[in-house]
């Protein structure tokens, strides 16, 4: 009875497994991106980064102010600004500066990329479910402890521990999902899983903006990290309930013509892997530049607008639709056009997203949110499709290793280049720096994805069956008849269908 019920519910296992690894990834990315939204409150508490003159009232609009706060370059001038006897500016930490950029980017990326390669290699040799459970447990504990820090350096160390745990999520889960799901669903499945990046990023806006204001248990911004970390511990326990699937060959052959396994360097140094990785790195940089600076940018330029829920809706709702549509479209065309179709979807989606990304920084709040929504719809198609392509063009025994190496390069370039935003901001302005590293890098990546498309294979052509390969139909054997000259045709030996390659076709006595 119990076994019968289990068999009936077996169809729910794959969606359950997808949900568990995806939610775990969302929580890891929430811990990753929370610093970008809570940075101002965290900087005020831990005393790091830049200090500037900022608006400290919600009752006044910027257009009503006689002098803008950012004009003041010292504390005395800042605190002297007033309107109708009310001081409307404060001299305080703004959450920006080199300290913040190091905390958000290099301290995380340095560990994330190195550990990602190590865990990618381990995933090809050991039980991936157990490794993923350990990784989820590690980053969840790190997130909880981030809520208890007292010093800036403690936050840096815990960001590094968080990176070590989260580094295994993508290579481990990607390998598991590629074995759980068939090719015709792989693009959609990878897109749903990799949406965790944008899910965690989007949830960070309302969590980081509004929960500190509630001051739950007098914890302020710390409550965000405690809550996310505790939920992560629950997901670690649920991850342990999954079972390791049988590894399947879904990409190209594992061996050369001489029967030897393809070495890892030969796989990674393929021109198509290199160009795809560089294109993904540039696109990742554009996304990271906006992710780390988005909330701070809108707070800085539009301090009298509360855009927290708008950013959440654009990221979660519109971004989610874009992720699913991208996966479905690539799955739809891959059977007809081959892997090249997935890269075509990448190139076209990023080309369309680029001008709208520019508009999301150029326009005032209303049109900024509208253009950001359109940009997100097309831009967020990319991540899941990239990894669907990678798992389909590498051998089985090197799948997770290749993904780990791919992420190492992509995150080192895309994750560290955003540090250039700070010196560029100081030289030409915050908005102008995002024009270059956000919208500009979207455009460059779209061109590179387009070039990558020509290095990929098209649709596989079915070999037409020859007459000799077909099984003969029932009927008379004309070979037993005499011809017009009265001769009996040469007797043929019985044929195998199809003939083995080591025998000559039409062998006769």
Distances, alpha carbon 427 to alpha carbons 420, 421, 432, 433, in Å: 11, 10, 10, 9
Contact indicator for 110, 216 with CB cutoff of 8 Å = no
Q: How far apart are CA 405 and CA 398, in angstroms?
A: 10
The low-confidence residues of the chain, meaning pLDDT below 70, are 1-9, 11, 183, 187, 247-265, 327, 330, 332-338, 397, 400, 457-509
CA atoms within 13 A on the CB side of 249: 6
Distances, alpha carbon 298 to alpha carbons 194, 292, 295, 362, 365, in Å: 26, 12, 5, 11, 8
Q: Which residues pair with 93 in a beta bridge?
A: 51
Pick the CATH number of 12-50+94-246 from 3.30.70.270, 3.30.465.10, 3.90.1820.10, 1.20.1250.20: 1.20.1250.20
- Crossing angle of helices 271-301 and 441-453, in 10° steps, is 160
Distances, alpha carbon 316 to alpha carbons 82, 170, 171, 210, in Å: 39, 20, 23, 17
Residue-level pLDDT at 7: 61
Query: Of the candidates 304, 321, 318, which has an alpha carbon nearest to the alpha carbon of residue 365?
Result: 304
What stretches of 124-223 adopt beta strand conformation (E)?
Answer: none
Within 8 A by CB and 6+ apart from 310, the residues are 365, 369
Write down the domain spans for the chain: 12-50+94-246, 51-91, 269-457
Residue-level pLDDT at 165: 93
pTM here? 0.68
Residue-level pLDDT at 461: 54
The owner of tokens 């995150």 is: 411
pLDDT tens digit sequence for 124-149: 788 889 999 999 999 999 999 999 99
pLDDT tens digit sequence for 327-341: 677 676 665 666 777
What does the block give as tokens for 76? 């005395």
Query: Of the candidates 309, 306, 321, 330, which has an alpha carbon nearest to the alpha carbon of residue 391?
Result: 330
Q: How far apart are the first and last CA of the chain?
A: 64
Q: How far apart are CA 181 and CA 101, in angstroms?
A: 39
Contact indicator for 57, 86 with CB cutoff of 8 Å = yes
Contact indicator for 409, 279 with CB cutoff of 8 Å = no
Residue-level pLDDT at 121: 79
Q: Which residues pair with 92 in a beta bridge?
A: 52
Identical fold for domains 12-50+94-246 and 269-457, yes or no, is yes
Within 8 A by CB and 6+ apart from 352, the residues are 378
Q: What CATH number is given for 269-457 in this structure?
A: 1.20.1250.20
């Amino acid at each position: 009875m119990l076994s019968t019920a289990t068999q009936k519910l077996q169809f729910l296992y794959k969606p359950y497994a997808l949900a568990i690894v995806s939610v775990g990834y969302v929580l890891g990315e929430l811990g990753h991106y929370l610093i970008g939204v809570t940075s101002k409150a965290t900087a005020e508490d831990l005393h790091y980064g830049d200090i500037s003159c900022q608006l400290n009232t919600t009752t006044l609009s910027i257009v009503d102010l006689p002098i803008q706060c950012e004009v003041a370059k010292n504390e005395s001038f800042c605190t002297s600004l007033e309107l109708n006897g009310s001081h409307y500016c404060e001299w305080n930490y703004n959450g920006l500066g080199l300290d913040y950029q190091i905390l958000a980017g290099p301290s995380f990326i340095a560990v994330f990329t190195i550990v990602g390669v190590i865990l990618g290699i381990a995933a090809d040799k050991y039980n991936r479910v157990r490794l993923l459970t350990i990784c989820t447990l590690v980053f969840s504990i790190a997130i909880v402890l981030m809520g208890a820090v007292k010093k800036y350096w403690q936050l840096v160390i815990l960001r590094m521990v968080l990176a070590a745990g989260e580094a295994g999520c993508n290579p481990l889960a990607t390998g598991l999902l590629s074995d759980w799901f068939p090719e015709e669903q792989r693009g959609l499945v990878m897109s749903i899983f990799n949406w965790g990046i944008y899910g965690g990023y989007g949830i960070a806006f309302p969590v980081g903006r509004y929960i500190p204001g509630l001051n739950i248990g007098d914890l302020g911004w710390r409550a965000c990290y405690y809550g996310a970390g505790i939920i992560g511990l629950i997901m670690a326990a649920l991850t342990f309930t999954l079972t390791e699937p049988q590894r399947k060959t879904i990409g190209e052959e594992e061996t050369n013509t001489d029967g030897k396994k393809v070495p890892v360097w030969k796989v990674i140094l393929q021109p198509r892997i290199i160009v795809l990785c560089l294109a993904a790195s540039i696109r990742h940089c554009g996304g990271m530049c906006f992710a780390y600076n988005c909330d701070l940018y809108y707070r800085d330029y539009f301090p009298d607008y509360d855009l927290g829920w708008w950013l959440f809706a654009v990221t979660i709702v519109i971004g989610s639709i874009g992720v699913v549509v991208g996966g479905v479209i690539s799955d739809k065309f891959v059977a007809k056009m081959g892997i090249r179709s997935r890269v075509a979807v990448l190139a076209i989606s990023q080309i369309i997203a680029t001008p709208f990304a520019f508009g999301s920084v150029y326009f005032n709040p209303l049109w900024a949110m509208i253009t950001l929504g359109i940009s997100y719809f097309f831009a967020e198609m990319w991540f899941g499709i990239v990894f669907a392509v990678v798992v389909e063009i590498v051998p089985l025994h090197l799948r997770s290793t290749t993904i780990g190496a791919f992420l190492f390069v992509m995150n080192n370039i895309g994750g560290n280049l955003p540090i250039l935003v700070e010196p560029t901001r100081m030289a030409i302005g915050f908005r102008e720096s995002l024009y270059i590293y956000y919208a500009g890098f979207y455009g460059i990546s779209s061109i590179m994805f387009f070039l990558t498309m020509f290095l990929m294979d098209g649709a596989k052509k079915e070999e037409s069956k020859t007459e000799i390969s077909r099984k003969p139909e029932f009927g008379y054997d004309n070979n037993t008849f005499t011809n017009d000259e009265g001769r009996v045709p040469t007797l043929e030996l019985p044929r195998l269908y199809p003939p083995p390659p080591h025998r000559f076709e039409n062998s006769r006595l």
